[in-house]
Amino acid sequence: MPSGHDNPKLSRFDPLKRIITFDDFDHGFCGWTQLVGNYEHSLDSMLPAYAEHTQPQLSNVTHWDSGTHGSFDGTYALKVATLAKAGSRNVAIKRLTFRKPCPVRLEFYFAFKPEASELALSETDVKSIGFCYDLQQGSEGGNRVMPHFRFLNARDGEHVQKWQYKDAYRPFAEIGTAGKTVSFDHLADHDWKDVPGGGQKLCYNEVPTKINWHYVRFDFDLTTMLPVALQCNDRAFDVSGLSPIVIPAMNNLWCMMNILFFAEAATDKRTLLYIDSACLSGDF
């Protein structure tokens, strides 16, 4: 098992036997891009929630009062920014496939803030930040499986501060007229359930321009298509009994393994999610 001692940038992670991808955004986008909604013949056929998504950016985390903050250990982080509109959401995605069903581990360092557009702490202006997989089993058959987790920071001006998951989906919408494309808003603000014991207070510093980096580890088994463990900073959560979203397999998504990061705004102020680095590893 790699210890990371021969690579200081990996020593902050606890990877499984094989590192599948290690994304340090000082070296560019590393394959992360905008989640474009499904469309046919016209971009106007996208579902409205997807139409507002924009490309993630590389950010040196500049603030008006202190200048350049920089990332965890370098200059650039991946920035996922919502519109300045309550309820707005934005998503970054990395599109992969897997070559063997096995246990996998996703680790990343993140920070979040509302845009510092006023001289106030604004600790309840971020609604949520989260991550999910979009998976489909191999070509011999199976399901599309989507484990979702979010940290619900605030709602209606009040701190909530708890982890949630989603195990249900709503009917697909037909996109276009050819009968080949469908879509559904799997990140919408409904059907979220509380992770048992999932309350957690994260570090939120004293003024709106200060950020602190947090660590997340998520273990998932591609063999059983079930979550195994979730950790954020000093808290470990037993998510092994929580079902992901399970959908009948789609016609052309075999062995899909997409990773998504998302952010949601609680007020008419942009929410900014920063990802310093991410490591995906597997036990094969």
* Residue range 70-117, pLDDT digits in tens: 899 899 999 999 999 999 999 999 999 999 999 999 999 999 999 998
CA 178/CA 170 separation, integer angstroms: 22
Give per-residue pLDDT as tens, 216-232: 999 999 999 999 999 99
What single DSSP character describes residue 37? P
- If one compares 252 and 112, the residue with the highest pLDDT of the two is 112
Work out the average pLDDT over 175-179. 65
For 100-122, b/e burial (b = at least 16 CB within 10 A) is ebebbbbbbbbbbbbbbeeeeeb
pTM for this predicted structure:
0.92
Cβ–Cβ < 8 Å for 280, 105? yes
The first and second tokens of residue 92, run together, are 């970054």
